[in-house]
Amino acid sequence: MEFVLIFVVIAIVYSIIRGLSVSRSEKKQPLPVKNKEVQYEDPYLGMRLMNGSQIESLGDNPFYAVLNREDFDQEISKEEKKIAGKLLKYKSENIAYAIDQMITYDKFRERDGLPKYLQVIPINQLIDEGIFIEASMDNICDLLDSITMKELRVICKDIGISAARSKSGTVDRLLDYKTAIDIDYTKYFKLNPLIIDLSEKADKKINEYLNEQISQIPVKIKPIQGKISSNDIQEVEEKDDFKLAQYGYGSVLYFFKNQPLFRVLGYSLVHSHGPTTYLLKNGLMILTNTVGIRNSRIRYFVIINKNMKSVYQGRVENTDYREPSFIDDKEIVYLNIDSGFWALNYSTFKEKYIPNPDDKDIYSVLECTEI
């Protein structure tokens, strides 16, 4: 019996000592190291910068927005201020739209057969306010010029004279007999010319505003810090050791010798309307976009090198939304504008407007012009 008790005590002591030993050895062993999570470049980081969102639009009606500006009020005459005040009094979208349409049509309209946008506005009230004006003997020359040749022949027949071969000749002939002309002047109206003058001045102000806005657009360039997800690479453009790649939405990667160096946010490699990038022959990257408010449109260019430095900034006014074209062997980028070409030599960064009255192609024009 004593032997059994001694055996049990020895077993219990052994178990305790072994347990302590195992516990100590476990404490000495290092904890397993978790794999560090791979950090990828966010493919949507430049999304909010796309589509020219950096430009403030001046609202749904830029013309009215400019009329409300204090700095514009200081640049117009008393008569223009008066008519601007009357315009601003009307909050109707129908009236605002009708005036916008009439600005581009500086002729008298006959009340019969008006387009829908003029049928839904109070024409007589707007005439009383001076926003529209009626025809009269004082502006009969403009009235006759607005009337069709068919109607002019009827007027000639009514007063017993023959029409000339041309419309302008017929108008001149009728002006010699204007007192004999029997016209119901109240049937005709047009936009007050003062509003057309205001519109032209507003467009100049909008152009200034747009230029200021473009000057403040930041070029967001970000060095590559994470891993590139191959699943998010879409379009690719390569020239020699250089490559651009569309990464996700709203950013373009720049590679040199297959190494990603940086990404530009807010641009796309897909050449369509909006902020776009191109890879130039000498490894430069050109960023460009056309931004516009009302009748003002400006295309801006920024060129950066592989060191993320901006080496050129420029802009072209009175352009449209067509993308630029390139002549690689001459290192030239160009646009078709104003019956001519705007061209930039991106090796020297010299730019020039080249008139093209004979409607030649760019290659023929460049044979006679150095940039």
The CATH number assigned to the domain holding 306 equals 2.40.128
Q: Is residue 33 assigned to a domain?
A: no
Q: Which domain holds residue 351?
A: 220-367
Query: Would you give the distance in Å from CA 136 to the centre of its chain?
Result: 42
Residues 205 and 225 reside in one and the same domain:
no
Biggest CA-to-CA distance, the chain: 155
Q: Is residue 300 assigned to a domain?
A: yes
Tokens 């600005």 sit on residue? 103
Residues 234 and 189 reside in one and the same domain:
no
Q: List the Cα angle 98/60/83 in 5-degree steps.
A: 50
Q: Is residue 47 assigned to a domain?
A: no
What pLDDT is stored for residue 171 in this prediction?
95
pLDDT tens column, 136-192: 999 999 999 999 999 999 999 999 999 999 999 999 999 999 888 989 999 999 999
Q: Is residue 18 assigned to a domain?
A: no
d(Cα 206, Cα 105) in Å, to the nearest integer?
21
Q: Count other Cβ atoms within 10 Å, centred on residue 321.
A: 13
Residues 85 and 191 reside in one and the same domain:
yes
Q: Which residues contact 146 (CB under 8 A, 6 or more apart)?
A: 107, 108, 109, 188, 190
Task: Write down which residue in 211, 228, 259 finishes a domain.
Answer: 211
d(Cα 80, Cα 86) in Å, to the nearest integer?
10
Identify whether the C-beta of residue 162 lies closer than 8 Å to the C-beta of residue 156. yes
The sign of the dihedral angle between the CA atoms of 137, 141, 143, 147 is positive
Rg (CA), the chain: 37
pLDDT tens column, 24-47: 444 444 444 444 566 888 888 877
The sign of the dihedral angle between the CA atoms of 136, 138, 142, 145 is positive
Residues 304 and 330 reside in one and the same domain:
yes
What pLDDT is stored for residue 102 in this prediction?
94
Q: Could you tell me the two tokens for 353? A: 């407007």
Q: Is residue 16 assigned to a domain?
A: no
What pLDDT is stored for residue 151 in this prediction?
93
Task: Write down which residue in 145, 176, 211 finishes a domain.
Answer: 211
Task: Write down which residue in 182, 211, 240 finishes a domain.
Answer: 211
d(Cα 264, Cα 208) in Å, to the nearest integer?
27
Residues 207 and 225 reside in one and the same domain:
no
Query: How many domains does the chain fold into?
Result: 2
What pLDDT is stored for residue 36 in this prediction?
55
Q: Is residue 35 assigned to a domain?
A: no
| Amino acid symbol at 146 | S
Q: Is residue 265 assigned to a domain?
A: yes
Residues 280 and 329 reside in one and the same domain:
yes
Residues 67 and 207 reside in one and the same domain:
yes
Quick one: DSSP state of residue 162? P
Q: Could you tell me the two tokens for 83? A: 């008519």
Residues 68 and 207 reside in one and the same domain:
yes
What pLDDT is stored for residue 326 in this prediction?
94
What pLDDT is stored for residue 54 in this prediction?
61
Residues 225 and 175 reside in one and the same domain:
no
Q: Is residue 93 assigned to a domain?
A: yes
What pLDDT is stored for residue 273 in this prediction?
73
Using a cut of 0.75, tell me whether the model's pTM lies above it.
yes
Helix ranges restricted to H, 104-185: 116-119, 123-128, 140-146, 149-159, 167-175
- What average pLDDT values come out for the chain (371 residues) when binned by 10 residues? 47 49 46 59 76 67 91 92 94 92 92 94 96 95 95 94 94 92 93 96 94 87 92 93 93 95 92 86 93 90 96 91 90 91 95 92 89 85
Residues 195 and 231 reside in one and the same domain:
no
Sheet containing 188-191: which strands, arranged edge to edge?
A: 109-110, 188-191, 132-134
Residues 360 and 233 reside in one and the same domain:
yes
CA distances from 4 to 13, 16, 294 (A): 14, 19, 106
